[in-house]
Structure 1
Amino acid sequence: MARDRDEDYAGPLRRIVIAILALSLAATFLVWRIDSPRVERFRLAFIDRFVPTFDWAMVPVTKVLGMVENFQSYARIYEQNQELRRELQQMKAWKEAAVQLEQQNAKLLAQNQVRLDPKLTSVSGVVLVDSGSPFRQSVLLNVGSRDGIVDGWATMDGLGLVGRISGVGRSTSRVILLTDTSSRIPVIVQPSGQRAILTGDNTPFPVISFLENADQVRPGDRVISSGDGGVFPAGLLVGQVLQGHDRRLRVRLAADYERLDFLRVLRSHPAEQIRDAGPLIAPEAPRPPPDTTAGDTNG
């Protein structure tokens, strides 16, 4: 019953408030539209009196506008940050490519600075596959018979001897490393001049075998190829002597086996084989025939 009575009063009061508000808005509109000095003074007086006091009402609006601007600024900063991240990732990729190119360039320059016999020419190849295993250590090059590669030629990196060609295809060739168990090369230990055989045993440090006089060899001595047997050209740097844990003399190879990117194949020619011994060995002088007259005289 009381609720019905409240509803009876709420309807007319709502209509009265709406009417007053409409009249106020209409009066304000008319006052602001009337072009009269008195009305203008009234408007200015009203603005001077009431508008400054509405600063507190504008604070929430100002805060909201500031938050919207900050959010838009944050969105722009986030987009810029993402763009910078993408550019940084690209720069890292470019840096990695530049470092790799710099390393490759340094290795190629090092290969060009290796002093070899002027008669020896070379072909540079890129290492395609490293097929090292506990039983076989070799690499594959992207040069073959079409490039004039011949089985048995020596290969070097920018520092020292790496191995020999063992198997040639049309566009690829296989290099047996000095560390392989099938590798045997004659070497000279300097400065003593001792000759020996460098034998691979699938370890990073091949063994020095068949040394003439081990007492004249010291760790740190320089090891070069001897050229005996025409296997390799003479004078190629192999490494330095060291003494292993097993007390055997070994060689620390000069070639960087951890980074075999380019190899230099030396065009070596086999030594001329001597088939005719006539020009070297003087023929025996003919012996004079036996003197038979003496026997006849005595008879």
Structure 2
Amino acid sequence: MARNRDDQDYAGPLRRIGIAALILVLAATFLVWRIDSPRVERFRANFIDRFVPTFDWAMVPVTNVLGMVEGFRSYARIYEQNQELRRELQQMKSWKEAAVQLEQQNAKLLAQNQVRLDPKLTSVSGVVLADSGSPFRQSVLLNVGSRDGIVDGWATMDGLGLVGRISGVGRTTSRVVLLTDSSSRIPVTIQPSGQRSILTGDNSPFPPLDFLENPDQIRPGDRVISSGDGGVFPAGLLVGQVMQGQDRRLRVRLSADYERLDFLRVLRSHPAEQLQDAGPLIPPPPATIEMSEGGNG
């Protein structure tokens, strides 16, 4: 106990002496470094030449850490630029598709001056709340329902292409069955050949084309649009492009960005008017009737 007490008695003065010596050394170094004299300047130069180069090994970890920090900042900047370029590319694809559709409409209008666009085809925008999360049923939930006038069977699109159809409507929500779902079947037209086909979902990202009349006339890259057959979907909606799958089947690379389904447009498509009564047969002109009677006489 006495020895410990003696050590404590000496520790305090020694600590104070060490601190005072350190302060004196730092003060002296500061004064030497600030004195403006040729001799002191030569001393400083010799000191730097003698000792500073030997500390390069101590600066290696600091240099590496600074390099890693700068590399991480560069990576973050590159990642942000990449995301921005992705958004701009998607927007440019949308503009390109709009330009192609306008060009086709212009060509049709030049050929037929009496073409009329359907003014009833409007849309309701909805936010995607959740997806099914199942590999066997691919669907999403929208925050629009019967109060917004949503009806079963209406087509849904993202900013560029067809996504699916409404299948199940609640008051404030509705479910969209995607084109990739195994229960999805939509009639499509392949351009420029004009062939009709059925796009069949098979729970894969690239649904196949079934019931093709002449597959030899179809080439990868051909545009696929909705045909409007059956009156379920409006005609002319962009679906995607033809591709050849690994199983050698003709499939469709969908234009809709299924990885970023944040907002969808529900197209208000009204069914075509159906004839309930065929009515009486149209009688022939009077001249035809008289000629027939004269021939019989």
In structure 2, do the counterparts of structure 1 residues 271 and 61 end up closer, same or farther at CA, with 3 Å as the change threshold? same
**Cα distance, 1:215 vs. partner?**
1.5
Counterpart mapping for 1:211-230 below 5 A: 211-230=212-231
Counterpart mapping for 1:156-195 below 5 A: 156-195=157-196
**Cα distance, 1:125 vs. partner?**
0.7
Distance 1:182 1:278 in 2: 39
**Aligned structure 1 segments of 4 or more residues deviating by more than 6 angstroms:** 284-288
Question: Which one-letter code corresponds to 1:212 in the other structure?
Answer: E
Does residue 141 (structure 1) correspond to residue 100 (structure 2)? The answer is no
Does residue 205 (structure 1) correspond to residue 206 (structure 2)? The answer is yes
**Cα distance, 1:132 vs. partner?**
4.0
In structure 2, do the counterparts of structure 1 residues 172 and 216 end up closer, same or farther at CA, with 3 Å as the change threshold? same
Distance 1:132 1:144 in 2: 21
In structure 2, do the counterparts of structure 1 residues 260 and 282 end up closer, same or farther at CA, with 3 Å as the change threshold? same
Q: Which of 61, 65, 81 is the aligned partner of 2:20?
A: 61
Could you tell me the percent identity over the aligned residues? 73
Distance 1:282 1:243 in 2: 51
Distance 1:142 1:59 in 2: 73
Distance 1:118 1:262 in 2: 24
Instruction: Report the 3-state secondary structure (helix = DSSP H, G, I; strand = E; otherwise coil) of the residue aligned with 1:126.
Output: strand
Task: Tell me the TM-score normalised to structure 1 length.
Answer: 0.59
Task: Tell me the TM-score normalised to structure 2 length.
Answer: 0.59
Distance 1:65 1:183 in 2: 86
Counterpart mapping for 1:232-243 below 5 A: 232-243=233-244
Deviations 1:268-290 (A, max 9, x none): 111111122237x53478886xx
**Cα distance, 1:65 vs. partner?**
8.7
Distance 2:156 2:274 in 1: 23
**Cα distance, 1:63 vs. partner?**
2.6
In structure 2, do the counterparts of structure 1 residues 224 and 66 end up closer, same or farther at CA, with 3 Å as the change threshold? farther
In structure 2, do the counterparts of structure 1 residues 62 and 173 end up closer, same or farther at CA, with 3 Å as the change threshold? same
Deviations 1:27-62 (A, max 9, x none): xxxxxxxxxxxxxxxxxxxxxxxxxxxxxx999526
Distance 2:157 2:226 in 1: 12
**Cα distance, 1:201 vs. partner?**
1.0
In structure 2, do the counterparts of structure 1 residues 61 and 169 end up closer, same or farther at CA, with 3 Å as the change threshold? same
Distance 1:258 1:132 in 2: 13
Counterpart mapping for 1:263-274 below 5 A: 263-274=264-275
In structure 2, do the counterparts of structure 1 residues 186 and 66 end up closer, same or farther at CA, with 3 Å as the change threshold? farther
Structure with bigger gyration radius: 1
**Runs of 5+ unmatched residues, structure 2:** 1-15, 27-75, 103-116
Deviations 1:223-282 (A, max 9, x none): 000111111111100001111122211111000111111111111111111122237x53
Counterpart mapping for 1:78-117 below 5 A: none
Give the number of aligned pairs: 203
Instruction: Report the 3-state secondary structure (helix = DSSP H, G, I; strand = E; otherwise coil) of the residue aligned with 1:198.
Output: strand
Deviates more, 1:199-208 or 1:115-124: 115-124
Question: Which one-letter code corresponds to 1:63 in the other structure?
Answer: L
Deviates more, 1:214-223 or 1:130-139: 130-139
Distance 2:228 2:25 in 1: 85
Instruction: Report the 3-state secondary structure (helix = DSSP H, G, I; strand = E; otherwise coil) of the residue aligned with 1:282.
Output: coil
Instruction: Report the 3-state secondary structure (helix = DSSP H, G, I; strand = E; otherwise coil) of the residue aligned with 1:215.
Output: helix
Distance 2:156 2:284 in 1: 46
Instruction: Report the 3-state secondary structure (helix = DSSP H, G, I; strand = E; otherwise coil) of the residue aligned with 1:162.
Output: strand
Distance 1:271 1:250 in 2: 30
